[in-house]
Structure 1
Amino acid sequence: MKNQNKLTDENINKIIETYRNRVAVDKYAHVALLEEINQNEFNLNIPRYVDTFEEEEAIDLDEVIKLLEQDKQEIADLEAKINEQLKILGMNV
């Protein structure tokens, strides 16, 4: 079975209302005049008319480094505990 997108009733209603009201909605719909469509050589690809780009959230590299160091320390602590248990079981580690 193929993966396919499904429209909910809410999605369908939003499409219909946007079309009926002929309104521009940021990142969703654009009301293009025939002159604009002509200038775009009758290309109706959505990205020509609607900018759907979403800015990505900035990554705090200092926080990422701090979290990685915490993870490394936690791994080292867990490995030490595992080694202690292995020694109790008589294994050479």
Structure 2
Amino acid sequence: MEDEQKDGMLETRLVRVRGIVQGIGYREACVRHAHALGVTGWVRNRMDGSVEAMVQGSPEQLADMCSWLSEGMSAALVDGLEVTEVAPPFARFEHFERLPTL
């Protein structure tokens, strides 16, 4: 019963971050921030220079994570953030990791 309640609060979003976000440690900082928030999923560089992240957690966790992604870290210059809600059913992630460039 408790797992069902947790699943009901679990949301997944695909986020594309555009700007100067590659080659500056953005993904590593993203992984650290996701771990601190308890968010699961992954992050990777895209060939077009953007960073893509699949984030999963409660609505509050995802709001915090998307806020961080839009501001990034001090070396990042985020020009735009595209957030797409992923409708259930979706895979449940166990942790947050960095994936290879796509």
TM-score range, shorter chain: under 0.3
Between structure 1 and structure 2, the one with the greater Rg is 1
TM-score under structure 1 length normalisation: 0.24
Q: Which protein is richer in strand relative to its size?
A: 2
